[in-house]
Structure formats: structure tokens, C-alpha cells
Structure 1
Amino acid sequence: MSVQNKPQAFEVNNTEARIYWGMGILWIMLATAEDTSGAYSCIEELIPQGPAAPPHIHEAADETFYILEGEATFFVEDQPIKATAGSFVSIPRGTKHAFQIDSETVRLLNTYVPAGFEQMIMATTVPAEARTLPSASMSLPEREQSDRTMEQILQKYPAAKTNFLRGYEG
């Protein structure tokens, strides 16, 4: 972890937190590496029905999901886990996983320990104009710019490294 300051207590309301659109998702940044001195990040997400994340592995970060509204199916090492409002799903680092949204939308809390992956999200999305799902026609940052930014993020936050795998079970 490259951030060395002692974490400070803080409060943020989801109506005031930084918001981003990308990959069809509304990302609400409740806690980032800067807020927690790299200890963890916490993101509220609004995700539409359908495949949400292809199979991938976070090599150096544990990931959790808490379903606030809706239903999703997680595929952990290809085994399905049905999650509904109130469900908590924990994915240890190094574990292959993917998920799909089964209801019209899902609202969930997503954490990474340590922080870092949220930096990738912020680098590859755009600031949202409203706390709604993005339009299908929105444009994202150019690939070359995103790749350079991601290299810089990985140098500062090695836990952000993610391996995306071929194939999708959902």
C-alpha cells in the first residue's frame, strides 16, 4: 500500500459523493483510497439487468458485495450464488468470480480491501450528470489515455490489478 497517512474518520452521504457513469453502471464513490489511506474503498452501485462483470480475479484485493435492492447471481469459481436484498457475498483475493443482475436493477455496496480498484473505475468512466443509470449512447475516455492512466494507478495501488478471463457463465 503506497498511501501512508493515518486514516481519519469521515462521513459522506450518497447524495454528495462523487458519481461516475461507465459500463452501464452508476458508480457512487463513498470511500476511496484517498479517504481511507489506502485501507479500503466502498462504492454504491446501480446496475441494470444482464451480465454485470465478466469472469475475473483480483490478485491482491478482497471484494465484498452487500445487496441493498434487487437480485443478482454471483459465479464464484463457476459455482452460482443467488443473492437478494440483505445478502452479503465475500470474494477472497485470488478467487475467480463474475456476476449478473437478475432483477430490473440492483443497488449494492461493493468494497475492496485494500483500496485501489476504484481508481481504475474512476479512470475509465466519466463524471455522471445525475444519480441515474447512464444512457446507452454515452462515450468513455479514449483507450490510449485510459491505458496510460491505469499504468500510473497500478504503480501507486498494486491491489488494483485485475485479471479478466475469457468466457462468461452468466
Structure 2
Amino acid sequence: MTLQVPTLVGRDEGEHFHFLNILYTAKINSDQTDGSLTVMEFLGYKNFAPPLHRHDAEDELLYVLDGEVWFSCGEVEAVQSTGAMVWLPRGLAHTFQIRSETARVLQVSCPGQFERFVAALGRPTDEPVLPIPEEIDPAHVAQVCSEFSIQVLGPPPPPVTH
């Protein structure tokens, strides 16, 4: 086991990525935790949603810092808002969708490696701002996901209009 050192990261600090039309910021990476976890924060626009997918290698814990997000995991689904915490165990199909104009969510993945997935699929950026939305290639997303033991099982949920 590697000797770990404390890490302090400010609100807009960390390694930033434009990832699937949202901003992901690596707050604590797996190298800093000897592989035990990754902590990331994402900021996204209304209707952002990843495809329905399943993680075979990690569990996810999400804390809604600001906004409103619909979560679906297995047979459970609900809209959660600021202050809510959601546990998404590995092996269960899940997705989520931002329902407010924007939302900011803290994500803890165990064991660590999720920042490597974000780096492989996203683009580094120096500024912690939302990207201009662009077309996403679902086949490329599925291919990169499979390299990180994430199985794409279906499309994202359709946009909500209310």
C-alpha cells in the first residue's frame, strides 16, 4: 500500500473535462487514493442524460449539490433535488436525467478509475465552464465504455419538455 497524503481541492479546482456535453471535474483521482475511490463533480444542462448502462467494476454514490435530477436504477426511480444522495450499486442498469435548468452533482466511484474513463471519452479543458453541446457518436461512447467494464444497454431517456 502506498503512503497516502491529504488532498485539498477548492470549488473550481481539479482537472476539468468536457464529457458528453457536460463539465466533469476530477476532484480526487484514484492515484491519490491508492485506487480505492475517485471523486468527481459534474455540471450539466437540463435534459442531459447518459445512456442506460451498467457498471461491472464500480459502485457509484451521487450527491446532488444543486438542482433537480431524475434517477433510475433497477426497479427504483425518483426525482431528487439539492441535498439528495443516491447509491447506484455495480451490476444494476441505471441512468439519470437533469430536470432543472442546470444541476451540479458530486460523484464518488469505488474502486477508483472513473477519472480515467472520463479522460478517455472527454476532452481536457482549462476552464470550469459547460461546453457548447455537440453531436455525440453512440457507437464511440459504447466502445469506450466497454474498455472500462461499462455496458451500454440502451439510449438515454427522451428529453422532458415541462
TM-score by length of 1: 0.81
How many pairs were matched up?
Answer: 154
Aligned residue number for residue 164 of structure 1 = 152
Q: 1:39-88 CA deviation, whole Å, 9 max, x = no partner?
A: 00000110111141111111121101100100010011153221100000
**Other-structure match for 1:136:** 133
Partner in structure 2 of residue 85 of structure 1: 82
User: Given residue 35 of structure 1, which amino acid in structure 2 is its aligned partner?
Assistant: Q
Which amino acid letter does the alignment assign opposite residue 118 of structure 2? Answer: I
Please give the TM-score of this superposition, normalised by the length of structure 2.
0.84
Conserved? CA contact 1:32–1:115, under 8 Å = yes
Match of 2:49 in 1: 52
Stretches of structure 1 that go unaligned for 5 or more consecutive residues are 155-159
Q: Which residue is 1:157 aligned to?
A: none
Instruction: Give the superposition deviation at 1:37.
Output: 1.0
As a proportion of its length, which structure holds more helix? 1
Using the alignment, how far apart are the partners of 1:133 and 1:78 within structure 2? 31
Shift of 1:137: 4.6
Residue 28 of structure 1 is matched in structure 2 by 25
Q: 5+ unaligned residues in a row in structure 2: which ranges?
A: none
Identity across matched positions, percent? 27
RMSD (Å), alpha carbons: 2.4
